[in-house]
């Protein structure tokens, strides 16, 4: 493990309705609960040398404040904006201020769903986007962060 990663704080930020994982449309979002997502991210984070902090909000202003915190602290971010993905220019502008890698994630593949989900206002300011791998999207994003920070 790289010394650049050892104990490095990483924020995993989740937007609207992600706290309802496991009960919300399991045919789309899977059966893993939000608690299971948190545990999975923390466990892999520890293996990768990260101190992972997982948060969820239904409030756009709170998400923007968290992105400001990440920018001010040069904290890497895994961001699942949820519905904010498609319309929150305030969140997009906060993400654009990033000072460390930011990986956008989605549990489902937005391009196989309703037309309005095909647009992400965040993608253009993210380091990269990972979508369609269920909860595994988060694991792939954490691994991508590790590689990006080692580069």
Nearest Cα residue to 96 out of 131, 70, 116: 70
**107 marked as part of a ligand binding site:** yes
Looking at residue 32, its pLDDT comes to 67
Count other Cβ atoms within 10 Å, centred on residue 119. Answer: 11
- The catalytic residues are 29, 106
Q: Domain 8-150 maps to which CATH number in 3.40.50.9100, 2.60.40.1240, 3.40.50.1980, 3.40.50.2300?
A: 3.40.50.9100
- Quote the pLDDT of residue 27: 65
In whole angstroms, what is the distance from residue 133 CA to residue 144 CA?
14
64 is in an annotated binding site: no
Q: Which residues of the chain have pLDDT under 70?
A: 1-5, 20-32, 111-114, 116-118
Q: What is the pLDDT at residue 113?
A: 64
> Has 108 been labeled as part of a binding site?
yes
- Among 58, 51, 49, which residue's Cα sits nearest to residue 147? 49
17 is annotated as contributing to ligand binding: no
Residues 6+ apart with CB under 8 A from 47: none
pLDDT of residue 29: 55
- Tell me what pLDDT residue 109 has: 75
């Amino acid at each position: 493990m790289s010394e650049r990663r050892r104990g490095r704080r990483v924020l995993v930020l989740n937007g609207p309705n992600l706290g309802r994982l496991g009960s919300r449309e399991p045919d789309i979002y899977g059966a893993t609960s939000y608690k299971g997502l948190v545990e999975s991210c923390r466990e892999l984070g520890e293996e990768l040398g990260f101190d992972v902090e997982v948060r969820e909000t239904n409030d756009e202003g709170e998400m923007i404040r968290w992105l400001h915190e990440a920018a001010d602290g040069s904290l890497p971010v895994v961001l699942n904006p949820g519905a904010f993905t498609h319309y929150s220019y305030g969140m997009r502008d906060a993400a654009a201020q990033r000072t460390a890698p930011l990986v956008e994630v989605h549990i489902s593949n937005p391009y196989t769903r309703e037309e309005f989900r095909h647009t992400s206002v965040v993608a253009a300011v993210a380091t990269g986007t990972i979508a369609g791998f269920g909860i595994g999207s988060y694991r792939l994003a954490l691994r991508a962060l590790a590689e990006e920070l080692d580069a």
